[in-house]
Structure 1
Amino acid sequence: MGGRRGTMEWAARANHMGGIPRKMTFLAVGAFAKVVANILNTTTVHNADTLIHLLRSRPPGVPLLTLSNHMSTLDDPVMWGFKGFPIMDAKMARWVLAAEDICFKNRVLSYFFRLGKCIPITRGGGIYQEHMNEALDRLSDGEWLHTFPEGKVSQRNEPIRRLKWGTASLIARAPVTPIVLPIVHHGFQEVMPEDYLFGRRAPLPLFNKNINIIVGDPIEFDLPKLRENAVSMSKDLCSSSSGWPSTLGLNEAAQKCLYSSISKQIWMVMENLRSFGKMFLKSKG
């Protein structure tokens, strides 16, 4: 088994046992997501066609990177359970960065989440931790990757928090720049509240709630210009070193400037989507 103990890279391979365990996992999890999203609750999606079109028809070899806010432990997979979305198609399904301390606590969970195309990420482990390279490999393969750039669940109805730099580093370092599609949702905090009973998470998804998903348009990044600006800005900075490797022809200070700029651009788009979502909900009400 390659990599760190318990991360089971072999179970994530498409040819593992002929792909049958992966297909069964996506059938079961997809059915669960469809029930929660469409039968137990009401899910409304704005601009779903953009997501589905990019999933099915983007140029060959070009990866898709979706990112969203993080309101509950059920965001993924239930956010993909809306009507018309091919959530049970294991080949087409997203890869997703998943918290190692939650999803990979033991061998059974590790195997299950690996079959579900999850990549273990150690929160606080930095953007150059081992499995970020695995995420880059998936982007290099032209795959679809989803991230939660806030880094953890927040159920407060407030502005998007400062984004971690991991997603920005993937955008900058990917051999082929991915199509970056922002998504903002609301309602999962009611379906799976963290503080439900005596300060504990609800044991099962709640029902008769409204889930609203706003799919944005692809974000355009002028990466050459952003790199040029990062080099210029870094010359005036005196930042402490974290021992980052030199990459993209940039030293650590320039990388920090670059990842910060990309993250700010993403944050602004997501915050605009969140504001649009609030108006969308008011118009429905």
Structure 2
Amino acid sequence: MASHEVDMSNSNPNKLPLQQPSLPWRMTSSVIMGLTAALSRGFLYGLNSVEVTGLERFLEVLDKRKDVEKRQRGLITVSNHVSVLDDPLIWGVLPFSYAFNPSNHRWGMGAHDICYKNKLLGSFFYAGQVLPTHRSKHSPHGGLFQPTVPQAIRLLSSSPFTTPTPAPLEESHDILDPFTSGGMTFTTTGTDQYVAPSIYSQNRHSWVHVFPEACVHQHPKMFLRYFKWGISRMILESEPMPDVLPMFIDGPQRVMPEDRGWPRFLPRFPVKFRVAFGELLDTEKKFGDLRARWQELVRKEKRGLAMGELTDELKYGKEAVNLRIEVARRVREEVAKVRRNMGYPEEEPRFELAETWAQEPTEDRFKSNVDDSLINKRK
């Protein structure tokens, strides 16, 4: 991807020249996302039964976001994580007309050790709007403050952002627009290089989907794990505060159960899918007090920080940590409400706490000794 024919003079925040990747890259992305959506929809409705709640309401949200220049804020959808195929399967419930429009489709966060094993896979997933995300269990580059998180924050925010192009130590893992050269990039390891999607005004106020459980969690009663803090950073640091819409999904765990036998790579069917879209939250009411406290912390630092950049105090200070904990708790509460409205039994309050899960085994795949769920921290 590279920037093209952009005159940023005399522009205003709500009507930017549509800076976008090259036409061949846009076509490639559209085809990959469209065909993936078609396969997902065909599998869902051709081989399984599907129950969708709140879809019309969600489509109204997407319809209002079609015109990039009229968007006023980003959109975060957030859900439980029950299968390696949650994304893209769950988006198969969207009508086919929504499939070939990447500028109004989700950005996801995919495990680097799976989605970016090689350049071919990486190019496919990047064109499919999946950001390379390292997990601390599998990479020294993982964690809350890795460079991919600021990219998600910037995608959710108002303006396109310029990012200095790093000088990579090697080129073998570069994921750039194959049809052009140049462009602003970011690195996740210091040796790889990716075009920064936030430099394009086409991507301003984007839609980002997050699985805050951060690992596959399959429980017979559909209990939730605690939510990690990446979602907290996006809500606290994006400007303006993005819309947030909770979801709940059930079914993909029966397509790819963690205890499945050979052939492990093949999906199982038929199963029943349930996808519920909640309502847009009143984010000011839900998170406004926490945002105000965060912004006061930032002001106290008295430094001109680029969006997504943090000082040590903003990373590790007690108040910053407590704010992230509370944001994640409130987001989880909203996803739990959608779950409850679907008729699932009440959870134990302790499941929302990170310390509840601290004594789980460290293996990639295991049965949790906390709630007897099947866990996959690998995929």
TM-score by length of 2: 0.62
Distance 1:274 1:56 in 2: 25
- Offset from partner CA, 1:13-72 (integer Å, 9 cap, x none): 742634221122122211111111111111111011221111111561311110111111
Partner of 1:23: 30
Q: Structure 1 251/18 Cα, relative in aligned 2: closer, same or farther at 3 Å?
A: closer
Partner of 2:13: none
SS of residue matched to 1:267: helix
Question: Does the 8 A contact of 1:62 with 1:176 survive in 2?
Answer: yes
Shift of 1:224: 4.2
Q: Structure 1 255/138 Cα, relative in aligned 2: closer, same or farther at 3 Å?
A: same
Which of 205, 230, 233 pairs up with 1:169?
233
Distance 1:83 1:219 in 2: 21
Shifted more, 245-254 versus 105-114: the winner is: 245-254
Question: Does the 8 A contact of 1:64 with 1:139 survive in 2?
Answer: yes
Shifted more, 163-172 versus 151-160: the winner is: 151-160
Which of 148, 152, 156 pairs up with 1:135?
152
Shift of 1:269: 1.5
Which of 122, 132, 144 pairs up with 1:120?
132
Q: How does 1:39-188 map to 2 (within 5 A)?
A: 39-58=46-65, 60-82=71-93, 84=95, 86-124=98-136, 125-140=142-157, 141-157=204-220, 158-188=222-252
Q: Structure 1 192/225 Cα, relative in aligned 2: closer, same or farther at 3 Å?
A: same
Shift of 1:177: 0.8
Partner of 1:237: none
Partner of 2:321: 256
Instruction: Kindly report the root-mean-square deviation, in angstroms, between the aligned alpha carbons of the 2 structures.
Output: 2.7
Q: How does 1:203-242 map to 2 (within 5 A)?
A: 203-222=265-284, 223-227=287-291
Percent identical residues: 28
User: Normalized per residue, which structure has more helix?
Assistant: 1
Partner of 1:267: 332
Q: Structure 1 230/130 Cα, relative in aligned 2: closer, same or farther at 3 Å?
A: closer
Q: Structure 1 60/229 Cα, relative in aligned 2: closer, same or farther at 3 Å?
A: closer
SS of residue matched to 1:271: helix
SS of residue matched to 2:95: coil
Distance 1:251 1:82 in 2: 40
Distance 1:268 1:166 in 2: 16
Shift of 1:194: 2.1
* Consecutive unaligned residues in structure 1, runs of 5 or more: 3-12, 233-243, 281-285
Question: Does the 8 A contact of 1:231 with 1:254 survive in 2?
Answer: no
Question: Does the 8 A contact of 1:22 with 1:115 survive in 2?
Answer: yes
SS of residue matched to 2:216: coil
* Consecutive unaligned residues in structure 2, runs of 5 or more: 3-19, 137-141, 158-203, 297-308, 346-379
Distance 2:21 2:258 in 1: 34
Greater CA radius of gyration, 1 or 2?
A: 2
Work out the number of aligned pairs and report it.
257
Q: Structure 1 35/195 Cα, relative in aligned 2: closer, same or farther at 3 Å?
A: same
Distance 1:134 1:16 in 2: 22
Q: Structure 1 190/219 Cα, relative in aligned 2: closer, same or farther at 3 Å?
A: same
Partner of 1:7: none
